[in-house]
Structure 1
């Protein structure tokens, strides 16, 4: 059971989390007409009286862009200011996760995006490791990722996550931790809520944005970090068979951070993961504000 942070931002004010409720007839609940973000925060290890948020600006920009698919004009700076106030109100004392959310809030039965009210809320949860840092097992899902021509995959739209949910449950109920989705062309796409990377011959490889993936912010960070470290990076289609012979495979995401994959189907992967570990150590140092070269990625919020 995850512990919620005490206060939520709901209907333009901060209220106790338990009071931030919606009607069972809410439009978005029935039609998947919502969009969300997710970002991590931690108390500063060097100064517990301030909070560190990783790439706040990018997260707010992406959510603002997602809102456009719902015909909702929500500026990124409005989202950012609300999240900063949310952190100050809650004063978290441990690692946590923030979920900003946009949705069609009217009560109605017609699926639409025009002539309908939209709302924005924010809540948070205490969150440590989302997945085992020692590694996870994956299966190839029988479900396929949607195509951008039929779904706006450049946004984090709630309706898309039925496929993720099906893939995740299928994986867990068949003895695995996570499912890997292929796209409609039969190429590797992503996991249920994470991007995927492989390492072959010292090169870091990940499906490109044309492969119907979500444009992950952690994914973008890893590509930048790897290039800065002199690791050759390639964005291209990835074949299923490449997963089985890769030197290293890992998943990435806000919640998952960098999570190694130790087994795919009945293929055991190497437990020696030099590039994965280098990237994970670097990303941890950056999120803890211990790397001067990436300080612009870390937003500091004083609590006093």
Structure 2
């Protein structure tokens, strides 16, 4: 059972969460014409009265870009201002997950993106570990990741997540925690809502943006962080068989953070993950504001103002 924050940002202001409601005729509800983001925030462990948001500006920029793919305008400043206002209204004291959402709010029935009203909302909930930090079991999904020529995969378009939903339920129903999706060219793309990395002979490898992946912000952060730590990072197509012989396999995402894959299909993978462990510990330090080199990735919001 989710514990939602008491206030949401809805129709340009903070309102009680239970009052943030849309009509059953809302266009986005029927056609998936929305785009969302996901952000994590934690109480500042060094200074009471503040929240630390990880890569908030980058998240705001991606949501603004996703809105443009829906032919809507949503500025990064609008997203940031609403986030700060909402956090100060809620004054959270635990780690939270924030879900900003831009959507077609019109009540029409025609599938279109022209001459239509749009709106923007944010809600939040308390969230610890989305996936077990000890690792997850995965299966290769029978569902295929969409192509960028059929959906604008550079954005987090809500309608695209039907495939993720089907793949996730298929995996859980067959005894696994998570699903890995192949693209239409038979290469590994991503998990149901996370990007994928493997380690082979000391190289950190991840499917490139040409493999129909979402351009994940945690993924980009891990790549930059790994390079700063002297690791060789390669973005290229990944074959299914490589997953079984890789030295390490792990997932990244805002909700998932960095999570190892401990089992793939019937194969138990190695529990020795020195590269992943080093990256995960460094990322934790960054999100908690303890890493000077990447302090610019963290936005502090004073709740008392």
Short-chain TM bin: over 0.9
Counterpart of 1:84 in 2: which secondary structure?
A: helix
Report 1:5-20 matches (<5 A).
5-20=5-20
- 2:268 is aligned to 268
Deviation at 1:86, TM superposition (A): 1.0
Distance of 1:232 and 1:209 partners within structure 2: 18
CA distance in 2, matches of 1:86, 1:229: 36
**For the residues of structure 2 that align with 1:188 and 1:145, how far apart are their CA atoms?**
9
Aligned equivalents of 1:31 and 1:116: distance in 2?
A: 13
Q: C-alpha displacement at 1:10, in angstroms? A: 0.5
* Residue in 1 that maps onto 2:300: 300
TM normalised by structure 2 equals 0.99
Give SS of 1:48's match.
coil
Write the deviation string for residues 95-118 of structure 1: whole angstroms up to 9, x where unpaired.
000000011111111000001100
Q: Which runs of 4+ in 1 moved over 3 A?
A: none
Q: Describe the SS at the equivalent of 2:73.
A: coil
Structure 1 residue 13, shift from structure 2 partner: 1.1
User: Match of 1:106, SS?
Assistant: coil
Where does the alignment leave 5 or more consecutive residues of structure 1 unmatched?
Answer: none
Asked if 1:122 corresponds to 2:101, the answer is: no
Counterpart-to-counterpart distance in 2, 1:88 and 1:188: 41
RMSD: 0.5
SS at match of 1:272: coil
Partner of 1:203: 203
Shift of 1:255: 0.2
What is residue 69 of structure 2 aligned with on the other side? Answer: 69
Q: Show the 5 A alignment for 1:140-219.
A: 140-219=140-219
In the TM superposition, what is the alpha-carbon distance from 1:217 to its structure 2 partner?
0.2
Aligned partners of 2:278, 2:5: CA distance in 1, in Å?
A: 32
1:2 is matched with which residue? 2
The question of 1:24 aligning with 2:58 is answered no
Structural mapping, 1:79-158, within 5 Å: 79-158=79-158
Corresponding pairs, count: 304
| Whole-angstrom CA distance in 2 between matches of 1:243 and 1:117 | 45
**1:229 Cα deviation from its structure 2 partner:** 0.4
| Matching residue of 1:289 | 289
TM-score, scaled to structure 1: 0.99
The Cα of 1:190 is off from its aligned counterpart by 0.2
Query: CA offset at residue 48 of structure 1?
Result: 2.5
Secondary structure of the corresponding residue to residue 47 of structure 1: coil
Distance in 1 separating the partners of 2:56 and 2:93:
19
* Alpha-carbon distance in 1 for matches of 2:200, 2:258: 17
Q: Please give the residue correspondences for 1:194-273 in structure 2 after superposition, counting only pairs within 5 Å.
A: 194-273=194-273
Structure 1 stretch displaced more, 82-91 or 182-191: 82-91
SS of equivalent residue, structure 1 residue 57: helix
**For 1:242-275, what per-residue CA distance to the aligned partner results, in whole angstroms no more than 9, with x for missing partners?**
0011110000000000000000001110011000
- C-alpha displacement of 1:2: 1.0
Deviation at 1:71, TM superposition (A): 1.0
Output one character per residue of 1:190-223: Cα deviation in whole Å (capped at 9) or x when no partner: 0000000000011100000000000000000000
